[in-house]
Amino acid sequence: MVMSRRRRQRIVRVAGYVVFALVIVAAVSAADWGRLSEAFFRLDVAGSMFPQAITVALRNTIAYTLLAFVFGLTVGLVLALMRLSSILPYRWLATAYIELFRGLPALLVLFMVGYGVPLAFPDREIPGGVYGSVTVGLGLTAAAYMAETIRAGIQAVPKGQLEAARTLGMSHTRAMISIVLPQAFRIVIPPLTNEIILLTKDTSLVYVLGVTSTTIELTKFAGDALNTRVNPTPLVVAGLLYLVITLPLSQLVRGLERRARRER
């Protein structure tokens, strides 16, 4: 008997589900749940982390993220405009910056800013202490990525928009501010939100600068708790708290993209 296409598809799909379920069941039943929960899900250890996990660590993670994002967005916008400039040295400079900072690990840049700047300028320091260093250290890398995103957004605005604005007597700068950039930012809000998610996780690198009990962020906080309690439960708590930040942001991106599709 020849199977119909629909029947064959259904059999293949059901077989796929069965195999998947078997793998899960095998993994779950083979795992030693007693030892696992003893290691990762100790409620007393988790409980001892609060409220500092939220009032200090989560708060600082969010603060570092926002500061680096605002710095990166500002520098990124300038770089994007330089990339699109008609002046060759600007384009060249922006391209060099973007290639350099996209190519370097964020950890390295953070380290250079944290320790290189004080060496280079012994009489001065970046204002804001660790907060300032993180803003610049993570922001410099973020700026390189955001510059490319913003450039793509500007180029996605039809050329006729700028022409129409110029035709009405606006200067190039005025036309960019009033007409092109507002539309470009609308286009790049979803990818920029992704950038915040990446930045949130990059704040886990801040420990290289040496943080104190007031400037500590989630990963370092969890690492310290791991050492004092000799139990990895804090890592699970930190992971969940990262998700508290990133999941709503992903949801936001999805919503914005859906709205953008509808408007087309």
**Range in contact with another protein (rule: CB under 8 A) among 68-76, 119-127, 129-137, 157-165:** 157-165
State the residue for tokens 């700068």.
173
Q: Which stretch binds another protein (CB under 8 A): 12-20, 143-151, 167-175, 223-231?
A: 167-175
- Decide: is 258 part of the binding site for another protein (CB under 8 A): no
| Window contacting another protein (CB under 8 A); options: 11-19, 88-96, 171-179, 219-227 | 171-179
- Does residue number 156 form part of the binding site for another protein (CB under 8 A)? no
**168, 243, 244, 260: which one contacts another protein (CB under 8 A)?**
168
Residue among 167 and 228 whose Cβ is closer to another protein: 167
From 16, 116, 128, 158, residue interacting with another protein (rule: CB under 8 A): 158
Rule CB under 8 A: choose which of 55, 74, 171, 251 binds another protein: 171
161 contacts another protein (rule: CB under 8 A) = yes
Segment holding 149, helix H or strand E: helix 130-156
Nearer to another protein, 77 or 109 (CB): 77
Do the Cβ atoms of 134 and 64 come closer than 8 Å? Answer: yes
Question: Which of these, 134, 127, 18, 147, lies nearest to 78 by C-alpha position?
Answer: 147
Alpha-carbon span 54 to 45, nearest angstrom:
15
Q: Which is nearer to another protein, 59 or 186 (CB)?
A: 186
Number of residues that bind another protein (CB under 8 A): 19
**C-alpha to C-alpha distance for 184 and 254, rounded to whole angstroms:** 18
Two tokens, residue 165: 């604005």
Please pick, from the candidates 182, 210, 239, 248, the single residue that binds another protein as defined by CB under 8 A.
182
Tokens representing 8?
A: 């064959």
- Count CB-CB contacts under 10 A for residue 238: 25
179 sits near another protein (criterion: CB under 8 A): yes
Q: Is 202 helix (H, G, I), strand (E, B) or coil?
A: helix
CB of 164 to another protein, least distance (A): 4
User: Which C-beta is closer to another protein: that of 170 or that of 235?
Assistant: 170
Cα of first residue to Cα of last residue in the chain, in angstroms, is: 48
Long-range contact set of residues 127-134: C-beta below 8 Å, sequence gap at least 24: 129/215, 130/206, 130/209, 130/210, 130/211, 130/212, 130/215, 131/63, 131/64, 131/67, 131/215, 133/209, 134/64, 134/67, 134/68, 134/110, 134/203, 134/206, 134/209
For the bound state, the minimum distance from the C-beta of residue 177 to another protein, rounded and expressed in Å, comes to: 9
Q: Which stretch binds another protein (CB under 8 A): 5-13, 17-25, 68-76, 181-189?
A: 181-189
123 versus 263: smaller Cβ distance to another protein: 263
Residue with smaller CB distance to another protein, 52 or 161: 161
Please give the Cα distance from 123 to 153 (Å, whole number).
41
Which residues of the chain form contacts with another protein (CB under 8 A)? 158, 160-161, 163-171, 174, 178-179, 182-183, 186, 263
